Amino acid sequence: MTRTIIENGYVATVDASGAEFDGGHVVIDDGVITAVGAGPADRMLRDGAEVIDATGCLVTPGLINTHHHLYQWLTRGYAQDAILFDWLTELYPLWSRIDAGLTGTGAAGAMAVLARSGCTTVGDHHYIFPQGSGDIVGALVESASRVGVRLHATRGSMDLGASQGGLPPDFAVEATDAALAASQEAVERYHDRARDAMVRVAIAPCSPFSVTADLLREAAVLARSLDVRLHTHASETVEEDAYCLEHFGKSPTQYLEDLGWLGDDVWMAHAVHLDDRAIARYAATGTGVAHCPSSNARLAAGIAPVRAMLDAGVPVGLGVDGAASNESGQLGVEVREAVLMNRLRTGSDSMSVRDALRMGTIGGARVLGRHDELGSLEAGKLADIAVWRVDGVEHAGILDPVAALGLGALPPLERLLVGGRPVVEKTRLVTTDEDTLAREVARASRELAERL
């Protein structure tokens, strides 16, 4: 048996009671948490164990990213002042030149930055599959293995081109049947149902303005027949609301519900423009939300009604979103952004630092359907753990270590464990060479630009 003990840190368990231990401990046996509590670990447990001294550190569950577009790591800095629809229109031609090789490189770069910001589980939404582009989902899986994080890959799709009234150009979409067949193949090939799975796959038509009703309806049937989750964009912008009203005579929520797209096996990205009725329907059905505050600000989409969603019982997690609309790419930053953005919307007491940490951990686990094994520091859960240093010049003397993460600069990451295995040590990846990866990303970004 391999045992690791983390002790002497400020342990924020994010369990149901919100237990926290100043100078507490976490014991890990073979990748599973076996004890959490106050003070140092029992001396009887120390023989043969690796002991990590977390003095001066905040210990939290690993962060869970519920929405991303990893391939966009290669297209940062474009359309800097555009709203969503204009931003998409500018970038679709570039993205349509992507292939498995470039996607894998971009994904590895994006996941490396996610890991260095405390993220242990990455949710990705890939929806552009040019003809002859190779096994893109397989490339994502390989890159996640290289970095050492868990991956929730979604096999996305678009079948509503501009000639049919959709937003994407015709050359960027697939035929409906082909998209469904490829989605099923991705699930059958890569989805792991084990409790400690490193890879899960969901089915994820892109959005109401890039997908036909047929694809949405049939994708929901397919996902449920395969017992996997569903994901899409919903209610991100006022322009999307207007599109749905013009084309379907309904709000995005009404439209998606009529097609079978509300349920506890579904999570939506953004949900910025939900009214009270829509929030009530999400809550009643258990439909989850990926809250992406930085991206929503970058594209001027608005501030999601997160406080109202949480109060109603809607599962809410945090997301970075694509790096082309959030060039930071750091999930740890989104904890602070969630606090600040939601206070702008509903007041200074509407979003605490612990509310935001909960969204970034157990909230995200609930959204992805993994709250029984991830998202909190409790005996029996998988040892996905972030150890943040809060005694350096950025945070020394701060009254509340959790506020260092929720209000201060992103703390340096002392250690990141995924299933008890080290991924980051003293802010550096230990699973792959960062300098080599940076050079690979720079070359891939240039190559993609040259293809256009």
The CATH number covering residue 153 comes to 3.20.20.140
Residue 173, in any domain of the structure:
yes
**Of 185, 124, 186, whose CA–CA distance to 149 is shortest?**
124
- Return the minimum-mean-pLDDT range out of 133-137, 155-159, 165-169, 193-197: 165-169
| Helices marked H in 249-326 | 252-258, 276-285, 293-298, 306-312
Last residue of a domain, one of 367, 400, 416: 367
Nearest alpha-carbon partner for 244 in 259, 229, 230, 231: 259
Mean pLDDT value of segment 369-394: 98
Q: Which of 320, 336, 367 is the last residue of a domain?
A: 367
Cβ(117)–Cβ(386) below 8 Å: no
Q: Are residues 156 and 44 in the same domain?
A: no
pLDDT digits over 347-364, tens only?
999 999 999 999 999 999
Q: 106 with 359: CB under 8 angstroms?
A: no
Task: Tell whether 262 is covered by a domain.
Answer: yes
Mean pLDDT of 376-401: 98
Same domain, 88 and 189: yes
Residues 236 and 152 in one domain: yes
For residue 322, name the pLDDT band (cuts at 50, 70, 90).
Answer: very high
Neighbour count for residue 388 (Cβ, 10 Å): 27
Length of the chain: 452
- 9 with 72, same domain: the answer is no
- Helix (H, G, I), strand (E, B), or coil: what is residue 300? coil
pLDDT of the residue at 452? 87
In total, how many domains does the chain have? Answer: 2
pLDDT tens, position by position, 212-235? 999 999 999 999 999 999 999 999
How many CB atoms neighbour CB 43 within 10 A? 7
In this structure, are 219 and 329 located in the same domain? yes
pLDDT digits (tens, 9 = 90+) for 61-89: 999 999 999 999 999 999 999 999 999 99
Q: Are 123 and 68 in contact (CB under 8 A)?
A: yes
Task: Tell me whether residue 441 is in a domain.
Answer: no
Q: Would you state the structure tokens that stand for residue 409, as one six-digit string?
A: 């600069």
Please tell me the distance from the alpha carbon of residue 28 to that of residue 44, in angstroms, as a whole number: 14
d(CA 141, CA 129): 16
The answer on 104 and 46 residing in a single domain is no
80 with 198, same domain?
Answer: yes
Domain CATH code at residue 409: 2.30.40.10
- Extract the runs of DSSP E, i.e. beta strands, from 297-411: 316-318, 385-389
For 31, the 3-state DSSP assignment is coil
| CA proximity to 202, closest of 370, 62, 423, 375 | 370
Q: Average pLDDT of the chain?
A: 97
- Asked whether residue 151 falls in the same domain as residue 244, the answer is yes
Model confidence band, residue 252 (pLDDT cutoffs 50, 70, 90): very high
Q: Which of the four pLDDT bands, split at 50, 70 and 90, describes residue 1? A: confident
Spatial CA neighbour of 384 closest among 140, 198, 192: 198
User: Is the overall model pTM greater than 0.95, yes or no?
Assistant: yes
Neighbouring CB atoms inside 10 A of 9's CB total: 28
Q: What b/e sequence results for 80-111 when a residue is b if at least 16 CB atoms lie within 10 Å of its CB, and e otherwise? A: eebebeebbeebbebbbbbbbebbbbbbbbbb
My answer on whether 43 and 171 are in the same domain is: no
* Residue range(s) defining the domain that contains residue 53: 3-61+376-429
Report percent pLDDT > 70 for the chain: 100
